Amino acid sequence: MIKHLLKLIWNRKRINFLITVEIFISFIVLFVVILFAVYYGDNYRRPLGFDYEHVWNVTIEASAESEAAKTIELLMQTVKEFDEVESAATGGVAPYGNSSWTSGIGDRGNQIMFQVNTVSDDYNRVMGLTITRGRWFGKEDDGAQYRPLVITEKLARDVFGDADPIGKALQRPESNDSGFETDGPRPSRIVGVITEFRKQGEYAGPEGFLFRREYFDAEMRRPPGNLMIKVRPGVTAAFEEPLIKRLQAIAKDWSFEIEPVSKMRESANQIRLAPLIAGALVAGFLMIMVALGLTGVLWQNVTQRTKEIGLRRAKGATARRIHRQILAELLIIATAALGAGVAVVAQFPLLDLIGFISVEVYTMSIVISLAVIYALTIVCGLYPSWMATKVQPAEALRYE
């Protein structure tokens, strides 16, 4: 039966080739969209690692000055005096903001990329970080002969494997101009590990992250870029004006801009999802065009094969067998196109084009794409195959 179907397909190879190309292109486009949709969905279900509700980010614009440390300490002290504020801390970069990347060397000598943020002692309280091993920064680090670091579980696994990272230091790459290793005379030492900190948001993949302690002394070269504030539930935007006035009164030459982290989250997520939505619209439009084209081609195919189908009916073929034959031919064509499509997309991991996507996500995306294309193909073939069952033997005799 399959041999006979292959012969029928080969006899109409020109039309079937066009159908194969349509299905192949549709699969590639659909796969890319579904791949990132599944990737984002897989990331979204993972722990974010911090709280963004009731957290405000105050962006600080200031030039370097000798009194920067004293000014920042005074600003933080003033902010904490407000009844609306639960806690406050400084940070070099804000959640959902720009990234600050650097690198270190793992136990196997491999170079590992991770993000870095320099923060003050209350940052864990403001952002709701969860310590799994060791501790957060504290007064015990004052005057220490080392610079304390806190890292995420992912970075701990990437660098140290299953070993306990507490008390260890990150090996320095031979060339590193990122600023991470500018610790002065004191070496770095890991004092704590937190669960996760996906700074770029829910749709971003897991990434290594490292926190350094901010020192309000001569080591502070310039003011931190952000002041993170945890406000009490129920505090509205009306609090922004008196807060800005108080900050401006202390640092007259500095400028401040307040934005809730929840709004920063919305903006960042919209930017991240925009390409996916655009791709989904393109893929959807392509699927509609392919469905219409495929249905039309199959309909024309059935019309041109009236004599063949009529002769089969005259020889005793039932309507059900005719229906199954048309669908089987279409599924064989689709399988050939999808086989070529899978062979192409299977090269992406081998070429390391999408190394940030896991094998599970990649495999699931292929399965979903195959299921969608097969379902679309069957739906497009239902009506033409049904029309084929209506061909009567007498029509074949008078067909010209």
Instruction: Kindly report the average pLDDT of the chain as a whole number.
Output: 82
Residues 167 and 105 occupy one common structural domain: yes
Out of 190, 218, 253, a domain closes at 253
The answer to whether position 350 is within a domain reads yes
Residue 89 lies in a domain: yes
Q: For the whole model, what pTM was predicted?
A: 0.78
4 has a pLDDT exceeding 90:
no
**Same structural domain, 104 and 222:** yes
The answer on 363 and 332 residing in a single domain is yes
| C-alpha–C-alpha distance, residues 244 and 259, integer Å | 12
User: Does residue 319 share a domain with residue 347?
Assistant: yes
Structural domain boundaries enclosing 122: 63-253
User: Is 260 part of any domain?
Assistant: no
The pLDDT of residue 21:
84
Residues 232 and 330 in one domain: no
Burial of 225: CB neighbours in 10 Å, binned 0-12, 13-18, 19+: buried
Output DSSP code: residue 171.
B
Q: Is the pLDDT of residue 400 over 60?
A: no
Q: Do residues 234 and 321 share a domain?
A: no
Specify the higher pLDDT residue, 309 or 226.
226
| Least confident window among 34-43, 56-65, 124-133, 321-330 | 321-330
Give the pLDDT of residue 128.
94
CA–CA gap between residue 20 and residue 338 (Å, rounded): 9
Instruction: List the structure tokens of 53.
Output: 């509700």
Per-residue pLDDT, 151: 95
Question: Sorting pLDDT into bands at 50, 70 and 90, what band is 166?
Answer: very high
pLDDT at 180 over 60: no
- pLDDT, tens digit, for every residue of 373-399? 999 888 887 767 666 666 666 655 555
Q: How far apart are CA 245 and CA 75, in angstroms?
A: 12
301 shares its domain with 389? yes
Average pLDDT of the segment spanning 29-52: 92
Length of the chain measured in residues: 400
Structural domain includes residue 262: no
Spatial separation of the C-alpha atoms in residues 113 and 102, rounded to whole Å:
6
Do 188 and 240 fall into the same domain?
Answer: yes
Q: Is 110 helix (H, G, I), strand (E, B) or coil?
A: coil
What is the spatial distance between Cα 367 and Cα 115, in angstroms, rounded to a whole number? 34
* Residues 40, 110 share a domain: no
Does 221 reside within a domain? yes
Q: How far apart are CA 117 and CA 291, in angstroms?
A: 50
Task: Check residue 318 and give its pLDDT.
Answer: 65
Per-residue pLDDT averaged across 75-102, rounded? 88
Number of domains in the chain: 2
In-domain check, residue 54: no
Other Cβ atoms less than 10 A from the Cβ of 212: the count is 18
In a shared domain, residues 9 and 136 = no
Same domain, 90 and 221: yes
